[in-house]
Each structure stands twice: as structure tokens, then as C-alpha cells.
Amino acid sequence: MEIHALLVLAIAILALQVVILLRGNGNKGPGDIGERLERVEREVRMQLQATAQAQRQEMSHTLAQAHAATVQQLDGMRRQIEVLTESNARRMAEVRATLETRIRDLQADNGARLEEMRQTVDEKLHATLESRLTESFRQVSDRLERVHQGLGEMQQLALGVGDLKRVLTNVKTRGTWGEVQLEMLLEQVLTPDQYAKNVETVAGTNARVEFALKLPGQKEGGPPVWMPIDAKFPKEQYERLLEAAERADADGVALAGRELERAVRSEAKTIADKYVCPPQTTDFAILFLPTEGLYAEVMRRPGLADELQRVNRISIAGPSTLTALLNSLQMGFRTLALEKRSSEVWQVLGAVKTEFGKFGDVLAATKTTLERAAKNIETAEVRSRQMARKLKSVEALPAEAAELLLGRQADIGLDELNGTEPN
């Protein structure tokens, strides 16, 4: 700022001298003006140099003063920084010591808490793990036991399947199985006196049908009329039919179907020839097929059931149809029993009617007796009220005296009744 002011001042002085020079020498020629300008220029240059030198000296002095002040300030700042550094070092040392102490305390406290937490977590983990392991072992044991039981059941089932397979592959046992199923159905629906087992329906032939239903004969008290029922199970032909159907073998299905029809016709003819003999039996018999699948397959054969019914007088029945037939027969048996005992029912009703008439007479007599008793009670009440009015003027005795007097009079009356003398 000072250098700038000096420069401005020098320029102003120079301008002022030029103006003065121009005013003083307004009438002189151009040569004099040039000389004067050169002289003014030299003076101005000299003044500028002097001014610049003065400015440099002043600036040097100012810079020296500023440098000295700066050095002095820097020394003060250095001393302050040293003091602050020492103070900060002391404080940092104190803080570090405090922090180390706090950190050691925190580490010790955290270590103790972590140890407690570890022990707690270990205990909980141990308890949880033990309970989980116990529960898992228990579940595994239960499942293994169930698996073992299942294996045992599967083994038993395998044995049962093997036994069933042997039963179904053996003709005799296969027939026994159908017979057992037929017997179970008969036991469920009928009473034991409504059917018989191994019946010789045709006398003298020694041909015994598996089961026969007892139907009432023409004469009351005479021999029954038998309805033969025989169980048959053409398993081989039926299995061949199923296997061919699974293979989608149309020719095999047709061949197995014809074999099944032939087997059923043969069994129906055998039953008709051996067990049907009217009037000892009904004019038809029942061929029982023990499975619904076999029954459905036989009934699906076009015209087979009608042919057996028309030619051999044999009706085909499966488990469901036989149950329905037996239920209808059971209702017929009950209706017949009611018809036979209707006269007895009427006799019982007549006896009940007679007894009911006698009961009405007894009720009338009882009513008369009750009315007479009610009238006697009413008369006694009237007399008791009259006696009470008469006794109003009589002074009443104390309760104890009355009880003693009445008790003695009662004893005297009893002695007189018994024929003894009073005391």
C-alpha cells in the first residue's frame, strides 16, 4: 500500500511539473519544449529512482521489522507449543494411564461376565442338548420300535399272504375259503335254525351241498324244502383274464373270458345235477362267487346269467347280492312266523280283553269304597266340629296332666280289653 501511494505521488508530481512547464513556456518553440521534456523526464526518472530507493529502504526496514516480529512471534509460539506439547504429553500420559486402568478393569469385568455367560450358555446348551438328545433318542427308539413292529406285522402279513396264496392256489383249500366266507354271511343274517351245513338234498346219493336254507314245506310239521347254496371260485381262469387285461391283450382277454364262462357253466351244471331235486329242494340253486370282482366279471358276460338260470336253474350271487337275498328271505321268515302265530295272538288279545273287563269292575268297586270312605270322613269332621263347640266352656288341663290322665285311661282300657285287672 505504501509503495502504491509513493508511485501515485510521483506520477502526480510529474504531471504537475509538466503542466507548470507547459504554462511557463507556452510561447517557446518545439525544440525548447523537447529539451524541457527531456529534462523533466530525467528529473522524473531521478525522482522515481530516489523514490524507489527510498521505498526499497523503507520496505527493507519494514521487512526487517516484520521478520524480527515474526521471529519473535514464532519464538513465543514455539515456547507456547513446547509448553502445550509438554502439557499434552502429561495429559496424554494421564489419559493413557486412566484408559489403561479403565481398559484393564473393563477387560477384567468383561472376562468375568463372559465367563458367567459362557457358564450359563454351557449349562443351557448342555441342558437343551441333553433334553433334545433324550427326546431325539426317545423318538428314534419309538420309531425304531414302530418300525420293528411294522416289520413284524409285515412279516406276519407276508406269511398271511403266503398262506392266502397257498389257499388260493390249492383247489380244496380255495373251496374251503369260499365256504368259510359263505358261512360268515349266513351267520350274520340268518339264525342257526334257518339253514344247515353239508345237507344231503337228494336222498340216497350221498351228495352233500355246502349249505342249504330251510324253507317251510307244504304241510305244517312236515320236512322242510331245501334251497341249495354252493360256493365256487374259478381262480385260474379269472387271474388269466386279469393278466391279459393288464397286458392289453385283446385275444388273451377273449380266450380267458371264454375259459371263465366254460368253468362257470361246468360248475352250474354240477350243482344242478347233484343238489337240485324238487320237491325235496327248490327248483333252483345258488352259485356263490366269493369276490365282487369275479361276480361282476361273470355278470358282465353277455347272456351267461340268463342262460344258467334258464338251462340249469342256477342263480349267480356275489357277497352283496347274497346278503340282499338273505335279508329278503329273513323278512319272509318273519312274516311267515307272524302268520302262523296270528291265532295265538288273537287268543292272547281276547284274554287281555276279558281281564280288562274284570279290571273295570274292580275299579268301579274301588271307586264306590273310596266314595263311602270319603263320606265317613266328612261325617267325622262334622261331629268333631260339634264336639269342639260343646267343649268351649270346659277348662283345658295342662299338657302334662292331660297326657298322664289320657295315658292312664288308655292303659285301663287296654287292661279291660285284655281281661286283666288294673293296678
Average pLDDT over residues 368-375: 78
**In the prediction, which pLDDT does 39 show?**
77
- What does the pLDDT look like over 47-94, one tens digit per residue? 777 777 877 888 888 888 888 888 888 888 888 888 888 888 888 888
SS3 per-residue string spanning the chain: CHHHHHHHHHHHHHHHHHHHHHHHCCCCCHHHHHHHHHHHHHHHHHHHHHHHHHHHHHHHHHHHHHHHHHHHHHHHHHHHHHHHHHHHHHHHHHHHHHHHHHHHHHHHHHHHHHHHHHHHHHHHHHHHHHHHHHHHHHHHHHHHHHHHHHHHHHHHHHHHHHHHHHHHHCHHHHHHHHHHHHHHHHHHHCCHHHEEEEEECCCCCCCEEEEEEEECCCCCCCCCEEEEEEECCCHHHHHHHHHHHHCCCHHHHHHHHHHHHHHHHHHHHHHHHHHCCCCCECCCEEEECCCHHHHHHHHHCCCHHHHHHHHHCEEEECHHHHHHHHHHHHHHHHHHHHHHCHHHHHHHHHHHHHHHHHHHHHHHHHHHHHHHHHHHHHHHHHHHHHHHHHHHHCCCCCHHHHHHHHHHHHHHHHHHHHCCCCC
Which sign does the torsion angle of CA 402, 405, 409, 412 carry? Answer: positive
C-alpha radius of gyration, the chain, whole number? 71
- What does the pLDDT look like over 9-41, one tens digit per residue? 667 766 666 666 665 555 555 566 677 777 777
On the question of pLDDT at 324 being above 70, the answer is yes
Q: Which are the contacts of 244, defined by CB distance < 8 A and separation ≥ 6?
A: 252, 253, 255, 256
Q: What percent of the chain has pLDDT over 70?
A: 70
Place of cell 287296654: 414
- What does the pLDDT look like over 402-420, one tens digit per residue? 666 555 554 544 454 445 5
- What does the pLDDT look like over 165-218, one tens digit per residue? 554 444 444 446 678 888 888 888 888 888 888 888 777 778 888 888 888 766
Average pLDDT over the chain reads 75
Pick the more confident residue, 143 or 416.
Answer: 143
Average pLDDT over residues 328-333: 77
**In the prediction, which pLDDT does 10 show?**
66
Task: Look at 109-113, 121-125, 261-265, 323-327 and tell me which has the smallest mean pLDDT.
Answer: 121-125
On the question of pLDDT at 115 being above 80, the answer is yes
**Which sequence spans correspond to the domains of the chain?**
1-64, 126-169, 174-340, 343-388
Task: Look at 73-87, 229-243, 244-258, 329-343 and tell me which has the smallest mean pLDDT.
Answer: 329-343
Cell triple for 118:
459362557
Query: 308 pLDDT band (50/70/90 cuts)?
Result: confident
